[in-house]
């Protein structure tokens, strides 16, 4: 009887001693690819889509002209162009510790348009009207940020380019005197901003971003304008200068390979 008890006790002690080892052996082991992604979740190529809101940041439209033509030596209220934007982006990130460096390019369609009416440069006739539109915008930017858990907070800046259109109507509402001037052109410049991105898992992330975009100004030639009280503006003497500045706020989604 004593021998049986001794044998049973020895067996029980052996099972108890071995159970942690067995539990450790049975514990699930994350795939190597997942462990690497968890350590460096931001490194690699990514593609994505975004959508948001664009609004012009121009304070005024300057009228540049020869001094003798006083009516054009002033400034007018700028159209407040605003509308939706949507498009695609792609980039690459490098992560070292909690720091992330990257480069990103995007191309977006814009629907931002706006009008501004005012008394005009020539008394005694209908109001004048300015309008602006922004057709599309693209950027190539660097990104530099720091991670905090699953989040990435970053600053960004670089090259910007796009297509803009501007219009001036003289004597709006007076068919006999109405004159129209248009310009549509590609412009380039720079952009700065910042944002935050949150990793949902090893591949998908959501982001929110703000960009300030400055494109080269557009000079609309109104030298052919024939005013009622001041006569005609000779060729090459008077221009309306539109500043092509935009505020853009967007949200998006990225897939990291």
| 257 residues of the chain, pLDDT tens digit each | 444 443 444 443 443 444 444 444 444 544 444 444 445 589 999 999 999 999 999 888 888 875 444 556 577 889 999 999 999 999 999 999 999 999 999 999 999 999 998 877 676 677 889 999 999 999 999 999 999 999 999 999 999 999 999 999 988 777 777 889 999 999 999 999 999 999 999 999 999 999 999 999 999 988 888 777 777 777 777 888 999 999 999 999 999 99
d(CA 108, CA 162): 9
pTM of the entire structure? 0.79
Per CATH, is 37-256 categorized as 3.40.50.2300? Answer: no
Question: Do β-strands 60-65 and 44-56 pair in parallel, antiparallel, or remain unpaired?
Answer: unpaired
Exposure string of 200-229, with b = 16+ CB inside 10 Å and e = fewer, is eeeeebebebebbbbbebbebbbbebebee
d(CA 227, CA 179): 10
């Amino acid at each position: 009887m004593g021998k049986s008890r001794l044998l049973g006790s020895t067996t029980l002690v052996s099972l108890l001693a071995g159970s942690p080892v067995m539990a450790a052996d049975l514990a699930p082991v994350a795939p190597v690819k997942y462990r690497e992604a968890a350590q460096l979740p931001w490194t690699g190529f990514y593609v994505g889509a975004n959508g948001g809101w664009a609004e012009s940041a121009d304070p005024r439209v300057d009228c540049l002209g020869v001094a003798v033509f006083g009516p054009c030596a002033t400034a007018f209220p700028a159209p407040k162009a605003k509308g939706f934007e949507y498009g695609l982006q792609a980039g690459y990130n490098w992560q070292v510790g909690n720091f992330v460096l990257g480069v990103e390019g995007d191309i977006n369609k814009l629907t931002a348009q706006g009008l501004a009416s005012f008394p005009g440069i020539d008394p005694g006739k209908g109001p004048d009207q300015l309008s602006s539109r922004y057709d599309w915008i693209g950027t190539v930017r660097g990104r530099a940020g720091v991670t905090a858990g699953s989040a990435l907070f970053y600053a960004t800046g670089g090259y910007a380019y796009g297509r803009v259109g501007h219009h001036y109507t003289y004597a709006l509402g007076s068919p006999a005197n109405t004159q129209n001037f248009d310009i549509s052109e590609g412009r380039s410049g720079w952009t700065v901003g910042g944002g935050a991105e949150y990793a949902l898992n090893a591949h998908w992330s959501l982001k929110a971003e703000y960009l300030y975009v400055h494109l080269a100004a557009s000079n609309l030639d109104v030298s052919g304008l024939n005013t009622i009280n001041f006569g005609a503006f000779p060729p090459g003497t008077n221009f309306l200068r539109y500043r092509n500045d935009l505020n853009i706020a967007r949200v998006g989604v990225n897939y990291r390979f």
